[in-house]
Structure 1
């Protein structure tokens, strides 16, 4: 036979490699405790990654929008600033033009002083003094127009004011006198009224005092009469007498006997006292009898308790004896079980389990995924 180089089957090799790769992947998946026990949610991870990308994209778009808005606001601010500067420049030009037209230095009041001009001789002021202000410096004190007429009018006005003040003072004096006279009359009338009221009050108080004295006298007479009647009643009544019958009142029922009146009771009779002593002796005897019965009952109850305690003690001793015997039997049974267990353990160690596994025995497990 001649050696012939046969072509290698590539499909078989690929199948073997594919199975080897699948086996390796399966081993990694099975022997990886994290993947096997906890696991990984790929779908959730992909979703989180997509959400993060969307969030980053939204942040990027928002930043771009903010940049555009900032640029537009800056441009608007620059335009507004430029407009304000233009308006300020126009206002300054208008002010300069107004001053050049309406506020020239040649038209001022002190232009003749500044520019060496003189007023025409004999010029007079045609404006009235009231129309000129204090800063005009055209009319001074004592140099105004119609000064004499003004002084004369001022003197006449002063005279009229003095006459009016004098008349006013005279009028006030007359009114003051009238008021004083009226006050004196009112005071006299008030004193008269006070005297009349005082007299009336004195008469009323006197009448009240007389009436009170009359009432007190009548009350005293009535009280004295009542006291005398009470003394007479006490002397003549059964309250101060020594009759026992006065303290008894007959009732409608004869079975009840006479009723004792506590406010007139004078004491008990010898028969009543002897009856009370007899009742007391009977009560003492009855109490002694009851005390003897109570003592006998206590003795019987103590004897019963003693017998019951003895019975309980006997029961307790019997229970102790039974427990001791039960414990002895239990100890014997436990010893028997211990001997049997020891014999069984000796059988397992010396006869049954004599072939111990080596390390090679444990390493043959978990070597394949199948």
Structure 2
């Protein structure tokens, strides 16, 4: 068993210290952000770590307080419900006790304050011949017998019937008088209406006679005007419109003249010839356009064929050039393999950027 000497321990500690310093230096140098921005990242990390611990502690404390408050709220709600139930039970028990053992009629002085004492008491007299209805009691006077209201009701009913009979007789007399007045008034109105209708009939007959006479005169005047007017004489000027010489009044127009018809036929013939000429020009233009399209298509086809021939020639030249370049690359690769026989391995590239010196 080997024993570590103090000198060996010091060497190991010094070596570990140098390794740690080298690692810290590599982190500062190989980290582009720390190298460009600068600053004590270790202190920053410690501050960030402390801040996170502080925030976590504060959050845990608040959550603990919140949990305690929620628990206290639940306890308060339970206690309030229990107190409400106890108060309700106590009130119910007191009410039951009062209804069972403290009724008002069980008190000694209840007869002095009984609200139904008058209803329970007997009346002063139950009939006109009650033995309690003595002279000294003064419970019955003249006209105060128990049948007093019925007797008064019969008297009032008899009076009302007499008044009703008298009133009905008066109404009958008044109705007879009004009927006589209505009959006289109806006769006078019928006579006036008959006279009015007679006058109206006479006026209507006279008016109809005058209208028939006026209508005959108007008809004779209209016949005379038509005989002498331009309508039957077929005057072409009567159909002339005030809106221009090219417009006519439809209900007066008798048709076109022979000159107008000849002019219209001439214009129609000219229009037909003009239309034939335009159709011929259109056909010539279509033929020219068809000829041009055929020539353009032929030229395009020839150009495409020439392009295809050029493309084939270019592809052959390019294939020949690529073949020559491939042969040259193979020869150059063969020469490089002969000259540079020792090829670098992965270990050669991984040795860079491993130390800070």
User: How does the TM-score come out when normalised to structure 2?
Assistant: 0.60
Match of 1:352 among 336, 346, 351: 336
Match of 2:220 among 218, 228, 234: 228
Shift of 1:331: 1.6
Equivalent positions of 1:28-107 (< 5 A) are 43-44=47-48, 46-62=50-66, 64=68, 102-103=108-109
| 2:211 is the alignment partner of 1:219 | yes
Shift of 1:330: 0.8
Distance change (3 Å), C-alpha of 1:13 and 1:180: same
In the alignment, the residues of structure 2 paired with residue 28 and residue 221 of structure 1 have an alpha-carbon distance, to the nearest angstrom, of 135
Pair member with larger Rg: 1
In the alignment, the residues of structure 2 paired with residue 307 and residue 73 of structure 1 have an alpha-carbon distance, to the nearest angstrom, of 105
CA contact (8 A) 2:236 2:253 kept: yes
Match of 1:202 among 184, 194, 204: 194
Query: Which segments of 5 or more consecutive residues in structure 2 lack a partner in the other structure?
Result: 31-43, 239-244, 246-250
User: What's the counterpart of residue 328 of structure 1?
Assistant: 312
Q: Which moved more, 1:42-51 or 1:176-185?
A: 42-51
In the alignment, the residues of structure 2 paired with residue 367 and residue 46 of structure 1 have an alpha-carbon distance, to the nearest angstrom, of 33
Pairwise CA RMSD of aligned residues? 5.4
In the alignment, the residues of structure 2 paired with residue 23 and residue 100 of structure 1 have an alpha-carbon distance, to the nearest angstrom, of 107
Query: Which segments of 5 or more consecutive residues in structure 1 lack a partner in the other structure?
Result: 1-5, 32-39, 109-131, 250-255, 257-261
Residues 4-61 of structure 1 show CA distances to partners (whole Å, capped at 9, x for unaligned) of xx98387655332211234567789999xxxxxxxx9765554343223213223434
User: What's the counterpart of residue 303 of structure 2?
Assistant: 319
Distance change (3 Å), C-alpha of 1:64 and 1:214: same
CA contact (8 A) 2:236 2:254 kept: yes
Q: Which moved more, 1:146-155 or 1:162-171?
A: 146-155
CA contact (8 A) 1:247 1:264 kept: yes
User: What's the counterpart of residue 242 of structure 2?
Assistant: none
CA contact (8 A) 1:23 1:369 kept: yes
Shift of 1:334: 0.9
Q: Which moved more, 1:13-22 or 1:136-145?
A: 136-145
Number of residue pairs aligned between Structure 1 and Structure 2? 305
| 2:128 is the alignment partner of 1:136 | no
User: What's the counterpart of residue 327 of structure 2?
Assistant: 343
Shift of 1:189: 2.2
User: What's the counterpart of residue 34 of structure 1?
Assistant: none
Distance change (3 Å), C-alpha of 1:353 and 1:208: farther
Distance change (3 Å), C-alpha of 1:62 and 1:185: same
Equivalent positions of 1:288-327 (< 5 A) are 290=274, 293-294=277-278, 297=281, 300-301=284-285, 304-305=288-289, 307-309=291-293, 311-327=295-311
